[in-house]
Structure 1
Amino acid sequence: MSRIAVYLTGGIAAYKAVEVVRGLQKQGHQVRVVMTENAEHFVAKQTLAALTKYPVLDNLWVESEQAKISHIELADWSELALVVPATANIIAKLAYGLADDAASTTLLATSSPILVVPAMNSHMWSKPSTQRNISQIKADGVKVLEPVVGRLAEGYSGKGRMPEVSQVLAWVDSFLSNSNSDKRIVITAGGTLEPIDPVRYIGNRSSGKMGIALAKAAASAGFKVDLIVGNISVDLPDDINIKVSQIETTEQMLKAVKENFEAADVLIMAAAVADYRVKNYVNHKIKKQAKIQYQLDLEETPDILKTIGALKRPDQLVIGFAAETNDLLENATKKLESKNADIIVANDVSKNVFGNDEDEVTILQKKSCPLHWQRMDKSKIAKRLIKLVEENLIKK
């Protein structure tokens, strides 16, 4: 476990930093706190002192601390510095090497890694000066967890909101473990659409919730994520570790997966791919005519999972989903064998799964007994599946 100095600066999100401190302690880390004068307008320093069992450093001129040069002592003590929330002001000080208070002076004296979690008004975040400062501190080796889009204290939405405490903790944990920072994972989400004419298409009921949850869980675990999305009914993630590609048809998804998988360690095919497409696409709207029946002539679409399963290297991991309405384990087992997949996530989609926040799945792996996961939130399934991915990569 690590010695972590947490720096609270003067933003409304300072109250969340208290939970970050508690979370780090629960993970077994030793934590001490530095606060700016403005931060103390939002959170009392006595709260942090009580939690950490250490006095909060907020003043360089306290007589009892002068003998040991408090900011140097803390800078030398810390194995990691975490600035949360980081205001535009402290980011500017970091960029220019300014040291005019306890926080900025201690950060300037710190030789251990510095992690920064900005949180501010969206207009302040997008300001060219702020972005220049962000680029500068990144160039200096500071790690930055960018703010997310969400409702701000001002009452409107924009990019500037501090990420959830759980995401901050996962990001810190990922940095410290550094086990997945060089790993890349390709994830597909949503449904593919096969056009009949410029207006109509063949599709399915997939919302994309499972694939999006997997992308977020993988990014939180430190993976670089290539997210390939079809038709979805949920918001795309806003994460610097997730690169999004949007497609429409199965053929387009196959092309995107092939392009990304060669450099990847893992593929998770969570998308609901259309199995059939119209053989003869009509490039104009088909008009409804009385007493005339219209028949669609269909042909199979490419089998993405089977195609990639045949191409994977021994060091790569391929995971597929089996969405079934009957004979779940029998059909999923056949899929595991025929697609050359390492893992199949089987779920019964007749049980109100599409668009729902929860699911119940069974994990099938070669030479292993099925693992049944009781009904739970899809985000929890995603986290458990990413943990399983990590375990399998170690075996690889």
Structure 2
Amino acid sequence: MRIVLGVGGGIAAYKVASLLRLFTEAGHDVTVIPTEASTRFVGTATWEALSGNPVSNSVFDDVHQVNHVRLGHEADLIVIAPATADLLAKAATGQAGDLLTNTLLMARGPVLFAPAMHTEMWQHPATQANVETLRSRGSAVLEPASGRLTGADSGPGRLPEPDAIFDAAMALVDGQADFQLPLAGRIVTISAGGTREPLDPVRFLGNRSSGKQGVALAVAARNAGATVRLLAAHMDVPPPSGVEVVPVETALQLREAALAAAADSDVVIMSAAVADFRPAAVSDTKIKKRDDRDDPVITLVRNPDILHELVERRNSAAPGGRQQLIVGFAAETGDSDGDVLAHARAKLQRKGCDLLVVNHVGTDKVFGQDTNSVVILARSGSEPQEASGTKTEVSAAVISRIGHELNSVSPRA
């Protein structure tokens, strides 16, 4: 596929080198067109080296090839990143002062803008009007991410991570993109993996969780426009790029991290497999196995119910109405007292969370696998929702449901 990658004059231009690498490694032919201002941040030599193609921002270079017409005509996709306030304004008003804006006017394929600028610039009515104009003409405009900006300021205006822009671009070409990002501007905290409770310096009580589902949720939330914070217990897979990672090991450490992270979160998803019990005492030295001694007895004590505590704190902080969506996960097995859904419904009542994602687990189910099958239960009593497939597909269904729940109530103040 032939891609034109336009680079705007913002400090986030350095991130676009990683996006270019993603495109080229996927086998696409990329022509980079930087604005003159952007070359103050990243030089043309970098773009030529990474793309393997000559780079220019002038309509007077290679005039015999009529580049200001040819590039837009031939492109299967045009991606603009970072799309600064200035560049959005020029595109919306049809200006043609350089090679990039000329190419945009000649575009016949899909066009994707990935904005990046200061919060006040993004929220200014002029910028929002330009975005609406571009969208009304068929261009796709991503919502910027929220987080640390230039200097000490923080807020919406960060360039989405290169992985997220790449995924959005591929979805746009495939005709599967929905750029009304359901979690745009939201802060989402997700716990993932399995906690480990130490017995002695070398042994611990743990579980089979691989962290794959939690990582897939983090990717789906990131791609839905959220700023994602991942509370990572033991995981067999690396965390995704573009998310904040907070490492934890034990249930008590996860509780501390979750309570702190929830303070500014719009959504909390507790997908980690948290140990229900921990040893009452932890030996400072390795517990020895000796023939002349009785078998050791390990006394267990209950770990705190993190999910229930998050709900109680949320409710006490916002007694007049829900200000935060809390999602629990339940790994259940049936027994003589009831089937999986019966146990899950009882857990939903006890925990008081808004949504509960239910897995039927076993030695060869869910843990460590690449596929999953879940039922999403809602405290509101709505019909259970089933989702199955790869953990990526299940995560997309869960994040979509969360977006629906958020948009059905008043937003956070």
Q: TM-score, normalised by structure 2?
A: 0.62
Instruction: Look up the SS of the partner of 1:334 in the other structure.
Output: helix
Q: Cα offset for 1:64? A: 11
Instruction: Look up the SS of the partner of 1:233 in the other structure.
Output: coil
AA aligned opposite 1:196: L
Distance 1:176 1:362, change over 3 A: closer
Answer yes or no: is the 8 Å Cα contact 2:190–2:229 preserved in 1.
yes
Match of 1:379 in 2: 392
Q: Cα offset for 1:102? A: 2.9
1:115 equivalenced with 2:127 (yes/no): no
Match of 1:222 in 2: 225
Residues 10-25 of structure 1 correspond to what in structure 2 (within 5 A)? 13-14=23-24
Match of 1:77 in 2: none
Distance 1:19 1:210, change over 3 A: farther
1:370 equivalenced with 2:403 (yes/no): no
Distance 1:318 1:171, change over 3 A: farther
Q: Cα offset for 1:145? A: 4.8
Provide the aligned C-alpha RMSD in A. 4.5
1:315 equivalenced with 2:316 (yes/no): no
Answer yes or no: is the 8 Å Cα contact 2:182–2:404 preserved in 1.
no
Match of 2:245 in 1: 244
AA aligned opposite 1:336: L
AA aligned opposite 1:319: V
Q: How far apart are the structure 2 equivalents of 1:301 and 1:243? A: 26
Q: How far apart are the structure 2 equivalents of 1:142 and 1:280? A: 48
Match of 1:7 in 2: 5
Distance 1:324 1:198, change over 3 A: same
Answer yes or no: is the 8 Å Cα contact 1:184–1:225 preserved in 2.
yes
Counterpart among 168, 173, 189 of residue 186 in structure 1: 189
Match of 2:257 in 1: 256
Q: Cα offset for 1:300? A: 0.5
Answer yes or no: is the 8 Å Cα contact 2:212–2:370 preserved in 1.
yes
Counterpart among 99, 102, 118 of residue 102 in structure 1: 99
Residues 27-46 of structure 1 correspond to what in structure 2 (within 5 A)? none
Q: Cα offset for 1:82? A: 2.6
Q: Cα offset for 1:144? A: 4.0
Q: How far apart are the structure 2 equivalents of 1:14 and 1:84? A: 16
**Residue deviations 1:351-384 (CA, integer Å, cap 9, x gap):** 52110000111111121121222x3100111011
Aligned residues: 304
Q: How far apart are the structure 2 equivalents of 1:143 and 1:273? A: 33
**Residue deviations 1:255-314 (CA, integer Å, cap 9, x gap):** 000001011011111000000000011111111111421010001001111111111241
Match of 2:370 in 1: 357
Residues 1-396 of structure 1 correspond to what in structure 2 (within 5 A)? 6-7=4-5, 13-14=23-24, 62=63, 82-83=79-80, 102-103=99-100, 115=114, 144-147=159-162, 165-168=166-169, 177=180, 180-239=183-242, 242-292=243-293, 293-312=295-314, 313=318, 314-326=322-334, 327-350=339-362, 351-366=364-379, 367-373=381-387, 375-396=388-409
**Residue deviations 1:53-74 (CA, integer Å, cap 9, x gap):** xxxx9766758979xx979xx9
Q: How far apart are the structure 2 equivalents of 1:362 and 1:331? A: 13
Distance 1:220 1:280, change over 3 A: same
Distance 1:167 1:205, change over 3 A: farther
Q: Cα offset for 1:212? A: 0.4
**Residue deviations 1:189-240 (CA, integer Å, cap 9, x gap):** 000111111111100000000000000110011101110011111111121x
AA aligned opposite 2:354: D
AA aligned opposite 1:206: S
Q: How far apart are the structure 1 equivalents of 2:200 and 2:375? A: 38
Answer yes or no: is the 8 Å Cα contact 2:80–2:112 preserved in 1.
no
Q: Cα offset for 1:394? A: 0.7
Q: Cα offset for 1:325? A: 1.6
Distance 1:17 1:184, change over 3 A: farther
Q: Cα offset for 1:168? A: 4.3
Distance 1:197 1:171, change over 3 A: farther
Instruction: Look up the SS of the partner of 1:235 in the other structure.
Output: coil
Answer yes or no: is the 8 Å Cα contact 1:186–1:261 preserved in 2.
yes
Distance 1:345 1:39, change over 3 A: closer
Q: Cα offset for 1:7? A: 3.0
Gaps of 5+ in 2: 8-16, 31-46, 84-96, 105-110, 117-148
AA aligned opposite 2:392: S
AA aligned opposite 1:378: K
Answer yes or no: is the 8 Å Cα contact 2:370–2:390 preserved in 1.
yes
Q: How far apart are the structure 2 equivalents of 1:237 and 1:169? A: 18
Gaps of 5+ in 1: 21-35, 44-56, 75-79, 87-99, 118-133, 149-162
**Residue deviations 1:146-170 (CA, integer Å, cap 9, x gap):** 557xxxxxxxxxxxxxx78425457
Q: Cα offset for 1:115? A: 3.5
**Residue deviations 1:308-333 (CA, integer Å, cap 9, x gap):** 11112412111111101212101100
